[in-house]
Structure 1
């Protein structure tokens, strides 16, 4: 007898292949879907069309200056109901699971789901030209402006660093998620990973988002520290010292940052890693459905757009991400493109998604 579906190992991305077109609607999604030359040309044409008209510079500056307000407004409207839990998290990033001795690309782990999770697979879907936050920003929040109260906490934590006394200082395995949103990565990690040495930090640009995390019934200050942080402000301190983290998580976060600030952000985060520590990233790839659905007048710069709610998004290539991470002194462990075909079986619709997944490690020996 077949095991119950809840006990079956979840397939890793890249293992569910559509070899028979007649089976198209048998699953919610298919991996590594090959694009024809015509499909690639059509996508390129759509991007050229929707980027032919750029927003005026003064409008672009307005979106940058008011970025925090747009994200706060978003969370005030949607709170934590807009997210789905990331049931793919531990199959793709086993480094976050209880057994840290599995190989970097090891066997699939049991699937993690919660009762609130919907039946659709993958990080989310787009409707009416705008992607859901799980698909759009999935905890992505970047440019961050701390409130006075949180700034005080950050500065106090920075002072304690001199004596090795900071939140999580006694932990043996430290994880930071940047752009934690409502906690849809943080809480599954805390629930699933019972390692007594684990400590999870999480920060976000939105004060409202961090409030949602701190007010969650599962928030445990003995294992987690949530804080507002301005990732793009070099003068905004982290509560932990450099070379103290084993893992930094970036899930649909880097894409929301102004492109010219991305390198300094990645370099700054890389300094937080211990030798051998890794950055785990999943983000939007070039020609993703979300990019193709933008209309004229929403493009800020090449492959960088503003949504109707004022939030922004960039669409990467593998080479661009590799350049960002290697320039920061990190070594490639994984850099793959995930071309997925999502299927709405009820409406008999197909949606082509393009995501990029990366793992980059800080060298264990100093680079020449």
Structure 2
């Protein structure tokens, strides 16, 4: 895997080196202060139709397959409209899920879903770099936290706050299941000139952010600064075909697991 990544990195750097320009400070400030607003607009525009239900998560994370006799709880940060939640609730009748998002509209969609029941799930609005999760979840009570394509939407300098916030509600021995956009992913290489916010951070046309993570950065964030133990942390490289454009591209994801020491 590392050899594949190194080979991909060489060609990716040649593309990224061609554009080192960054957005003016005015636009950086505007996008930074309007993140929740722009995600709310995203869900207003796309409702529940943009993302597909994530049936693959328990294949990647065996921890999500629960013994029906064991009662477990999970917090999903950045739940969107519930594409991660619904397959898991069906497969795991003993699993209780907390779900939060900083888009009011997204949380409203979750609560309006026919599969949403208070006995199995609690959805609430929360910006994990501003609000305290303890307002909705008891301290040290959750067995697992899932972060699926969430940290890439957070400003890098505020990610430590998110980790500290998560740490408050996780049980000792609890686990974080992490998957996000990896450094040199095809999506990073497709950004046009004028989209770069800072190193590895870009602004999409709709005003939402996309940060591309290295495993060294994630290790620093969760282990060195956050106090977690690392179980897994590596790139997942998948070759995909864009049939419409007749292109083969390399998708690079960062997949990791961290445990809170007892």
Band the TM-score falls in, shorter-chain normalisation: over 0.9
Change (3 A) 1:275 1:36: closer
Counterpart for residue 258 of structure 2: 360
When normalised by structure 1's length, the TM-score is: 0.67
In structure 1, how many angstroms separate the alpha carbons of the residues matched to 2:172 and 2:250?
38
Rg larger in structure: 1
Deviation, structure 1 residue 321: 0.3
In structure 1, how many angstroms separate the alpha carbons of the residues matched to 2:106 and 2:3?
35
More helix by share: 2
Q: Is contact 2:172-2:260 (8 Å) kept?
A: yes
Deviation, structure 1 residue 36: 6.9
Counterpart for residue 54 of structure 1: 22
Q: How many residues align?
A: 261
Deviation, structure 1 residue 68: 1.2
- Runs of 4+ deviating beyond 2 Å: 32-37, 39-42, 98-101, 234-238, 343-349
In structure 2, how many angstroms separate the alpha carbons of the residues matched to 1:75 and 1:187?
18
The 5 A counterparts of 1:128-143 are: none
Question: Are positions 1:289 and 2:186 aligned together?
Answer: yes
* SS in structure 2 of the partner of residue 34 of structure 1: helix
In structure 2, how many angstroms separate the alpha carbons of the residues matched to 1:268 and 1:330?
13
In structure 1, how many angstroms separate the alpha carbons of the residues matched to 2:180 and 2:81?
18
Deviation, structure 1 residue 181: 0.5
Q: Which residue of 178, 192, 195 corresponds with 2:91?
A: 192
Counterpart for residue 235 of structure 2: 337
CA shift digits 1:47-106 (9 cap, x unpaired): 2223x11111111110111111100110001011101111211111121123389xxxxx
Unaligned runs of 5+ in 1: 1-13, 15-31, 102-170
Deviation, structure 1 residue 242: 1.8
Deviation, structure 1 residue 264: 1.6
More strand by share: 2
**CA RMSD for the aligned pairs?**
2.1
In structure 2, how many angstroms separate the alpha carbons of the residues matched to 1:306 and 1:346?
24
